[in-house]
Structure 1
Amino acid sequence: MSSSVTSPAEFYLDEGGDGPPRLVLTGPYLVSTIGFVDRELRKIDVELDEIDLSGVTEIDTVGAWTASQLAEKHSAKVVGASSRAERLIKALGESADSSTVRAPREGVMMRVPRAVGEGVANFGAGVLTLLSFLGEVIAGFGSIIRHPRRFRRKAFVHQLERVGVTSLGIIGLMSFLIGIVVAQQGAVQLQQFGAEIYTINLTGRLTLRELGVLMTAIMVAGRSGSAFAAQIGTMKLTEEVDAMRTIGISPIEALVIPRIMAAVLMMPLLGFYAACMGIIGGAFIASISLDIPFLTFLSRIQEVVPMYDLYVGMVKAPVFGLIVAIAGCYQGMQVSGNSEQVGLRTTKAVVQAIFMVIVLDAFFAVFFTQIGWA
């Protein structure tokens, strides 16, 4: 048989003896030739006495590993091996280790303090990075005030459309449905005391003071805050941000400030719009389930809802918009390395924005109660 490495490896079973058959391997057993017989060798399920390698013309580590695996599987002994084959089989046997490999793990007394320390250090580094980003934003606003021509008007208008106009549909529908739920559930509870007329007070004050602005902020965080992080993060990966710095354009002025201003300006308008849609939803369900005429519900709102409830909502709205925009832009500017970072930073932007909005809303609730706007 030719010893050319291009010829396939072969085998046959020698059943001439009285005992179990012998497996005879012939030809070159190399990584480039063994593929022809590997599947057939795996299918052998009879008991073997010997594995004869005397017909093997050439062998490498893959061929030696195949022979040793066959011998171990069928409890056979390897015979007729050349000196090279014996060395390879012996080396493979010495390096074989069936024990489970586990990374060393420190004890709890060391692991917990280390994790806490790393968490504190990462938190401190994150705070410093955020303060640095806020400083750049403030410096960017100062630069634009000194040089108004550097303000990106087209980018600002575009972000106004993206944050405000295109979100009117989803925010309006969400607020309308929330108004229906609040009015319906409130009416069910108030009917037990014969006070279902106060459903108007409940719906009006809750939507104007809390739910309108809060749900709008959450929706904007999930919709626009995530878009800010993804857009800026993608530009960071494609080195567009570095290119802007190279040609003398500040990324803060061109990318961050228009988005922050758009979110701050549109949040009060969206919050008021959401509150109005919530009241309309409450009036709609009241006209069906409570027999309160639609127009009567709306006119009664003007009498029972104090004006400062509207002021409370409008004061909170721009602050929530600022938080959402800063969270999205900050996380976008922190993207580096690979595309996976875009998804991670986008998720962080949404979670941080919603968390901070809810925390600030709680602080606002306490503050306005203390000053008598309860």
Structure 2
Amino acid sequence: MSEALLREPRPGEATIDGEGAGAVLRLRGDWTLAHHAALRRQAEALRGRLEAATRVEAGELGTLDTAGARLLHGLLGGERVAALLAGDGGLSRERRALLKAVAEAIEGREDKPAEPEGSAIGDVLAHIGHTMGVFWRHVTGLTGFVGLILESALRVSVQPRRWRMTALVANLERTGLDAVPIIALLTFLIGAVVAFLGATVLANFGASIFTVDLVTYSFLREFGVLLTAIIVAGRTASSFTAQIGSMRANEEIDAIRVLGLDPVELLVLPRVYALMLALPMLTFIAMLSGIVGGMLVSALTLDISPVLFLSRIEDNVGLIHFWVGMAKAPIFAFLIAVIGCLEGFRVQGSAQSVGEHTTSAVVQSIFVVIVVDAVAALFCMEMGW
């Protein structure tokens, strides 16, 4: 059995023998947590009596733990502790190592400069700067990823044997065919709401017939493609991010690279192509459903028959409005697919990261769709389309 187990525990103490230049601080007994209260009182009483010339003798020091080492550091101060660590005072190697670790931890914490107090304006400006930095990183990352997709698309387009037709058809079914019911239902209801609101306002001016123009213009130019893109952004962009993010978390993306395959060619291009085909078709269905919803409300509340409704569309609504709405669909589809896939590749490897990037993909997709739609509306207005 070791000496520490055979020795009876003895409470620690500190005494000063002598005065002036011959004064000696003697440390005895066990400086442990069990005797912490008594040792703290002794240390507080002796701290004011220590002089610069007082020597320290620790040859009779018994057991030492971190609590006792902290008390010793507070009693002796940094300079005397450094002298003990240098070998003065008879401190054993084990106790010297413990005291050194505690001293470094205490002095490192005390030497750490306090954080300056910030002002409200400075905090706001710092937050704005951080937000702008995050936004700029998103823009540059999205731009670079778009360039990577275009480069891969051009390279694969001249090699038909590398086309992923099975993946394209599977993604086309998930993004297009499976979304038809919800797109048709929601746009039908919104078309009915728009017709009802238009009829309520226009009836006051005796212009109820213009409800037909309101519903048709809004769905052909804006509501058809915009509502479809927003629904697809919430439904499909999140799906792309979750699928690719889960593969990245399970290191399947790394396995694809190890096999010598291109993840962009294998995972991104089929999804981008499928959504660029699906969204124009869904937009066309949304336009028809919205107009049918408006037609039903007009027939029930305004006595505008379906024949008169369709005749009014044929006489007063130009085909250009249909093409303006349809032209936006592939652009929105490309942006939604790119953002969804990019956020999937940004997943770090945990379930929490998958959830965060899935949410980010939906938010970014809806934001980009609305911004691009607003810019397109201003452009078409200036062009007179």
Relative to the length of structure 2, the TM-score reads 0.69
Task: Report Cα offsets for 1:51-98 as digits up to 9, x if no partner.
Answer: xxxxxxxx9xxxxxxxxxxxxxxxxxxxxxx997741555799979xx
Greater displacement, 177-186 / 259-268:
259-268
Q: 2:157 aligns with which of 137, 145, 148?
A: 145
- What does 1:334-349 correspond to in 2, within 5 Å? 334-349=346-361
Secondary structure of residue in 1 paired with 2:260: coil
Q: 2:117 aligns with which of 85, 106, 117?
A: 106
- In the other structure, the counterpart of 1:79 is none
Work out the CA distance in 2 between the residues paired with 1:345 and 1:297.
45
Q: Are the structure 2 counterparts of residues 204 and 126 from structure 1 closer, same or farther at C-alpha, using a change threshold of 3 Å?
A: closer
Q: Are the structure 2 counterparts of residues 204 and 116 from structure 1 closer, same or farther at C-alpha, using a change threshold of 3 Å?
A: closer
Secondary structure of residue in 2 paired with 1:292: coil
Q: How many angstroms does 1:243 deviate by?
A: 0.5
- What does 1:165-314 correspond to in 2, within 5 Å? 165-314=177-326
Secondary structure of residue in 1 paired with 2:224: helix
Q: Are the structure 2 counterparts of residues 287 and 106 from structure 1 closer, same or farther at C-alpha, using a change threshold of 3 Å?
A: same
- In the other structure, the counterpart of 1:155 is 167
Secondary structure of residue in 1 paired with 2:380: helix
Tell whether the 8 Å contact from 2:295 to 2:306 is kept in structure 1 after alignment: yes
Work out the CA distance in 2 between the residues paired with 1:325 and 1:85.
62
Q: 1:87 aligns with which of 15, 21, 35?
A: 35
Greater displacement, 272-281 / 118-127:
118-127
- What does 1:63-74 correspond to in 2, within 5 Å? none
Is 1:135 aligned to residue 147 of structure 2?
Answer: yes
Is 1:315 aligned to residue 304 of structure 2?
Answer: no
| Unpaired runs of at least 5, structure 1 | 1-58, 60-81, 97-102
Partner amino acid for 1:199?
Answer: T
Aligned-pair identity in percent equals 43
Task: Report Cα offsets for 1:101-155 as digits up to 9, x if no partner.
Answer: xx94631276455444444443443333323322221221022113221111111
Greater displacement, 133-142 / 351-360:
133-142
Q: Are the structure 2 counterparts of residues 331 and 90 from structure 1 closer, same or farther at C-alpha, using a change threshold of 3 Å?
A: farther
Work out the CA distance in 2 between the residues paired with 1:244 and 1:258.
16
Work out the CA distance in 2 between the residues paired with 1:301 and 1:91.
95
Q: Are the structure 2 counterparts of residues 91 and 225 from structure 1 closer, same or farther at C-alpha, using a change threshold of 3 Å?
A: farther
Partner amino acid for 1:341?
Answer: S
Tell whether the 8 Å contact from 2:241 to 2:357 is kept in structure 1 after alignment: yes
| Unpaired runs of at least 5, structure 2 | 1-8, 10-29, 44-66, 71-113
Q: How many angstroms does 1:207 deviate by?
A: 0.7
Work out the CA distance in 2 between the residues paired with 1:352 and 1:314.
22
- In the other structure, the counterpart of 2:366 is 354
Is 1:330 aligned to residue 278 of structure 2?
Answer: no
Work out the CA distance in 1 between the residues paired with 2:31 and 2:371.
76
Work out the CA distance in 2 between the residues paired with 1:372 and 1:236.
47
Tell whether the 8 Å contact from 2:248 to 2:349 is kept in structure 1 after alignment: no
Task: Report Cα offsets for 1:17-60 as digits up to 9, x if no partner.
Answer: xxxxxxxxxxxxxxxxxxxxxxxxxxxxxxxxxxxxxxxxxx9x
- In the other structure, the counterpart of 1:54 is none
RMSD value, Cα: 2.5
Which has the larger helix fraction? Answer: 2
Work out the CA distance in 2 between the residues paired with 1:279 and 1:86.
84
Relative to the length of structure 1, the TM-score reads 0.71
Secondary structure of residue in 2 paired with 1:249: coil
Work out the CA distance in 1 between the residues paired with 2:130 and 2:372.
27
Tell whether the 8 Å contact from 2:343 to 2:361 is kept in structure 1 after alignment: yes
Partner amino acid for 2:117?
Answer: E
Work out the CA distance in 1 between the residues paired with 2:306 and 2:364.
39
Work out the CA distance in 2 between the residues paired with 1:268 and 1:83.
79
Q: Are the structure 2 counterparts of residues 107 and 262 from structure 1 closer, same or farther at C-alpha, using a change threshold of 3 Å?
A: same
Work out the CA distance in 2 between the residues paired with 1:367 and 1:114.
35
Partner amino acid for 1:187?
Answer: A
Greater displacement, 225-234 / 145-154:
145-154
Aligned residue pair count: 288
Tell whether the 8 Å contact from 2:242 to 2:354 is kept in structure 1 after alignment: yes
Work out the CA distance in 2 between the residues paired with 1:249 and 1:83.
65
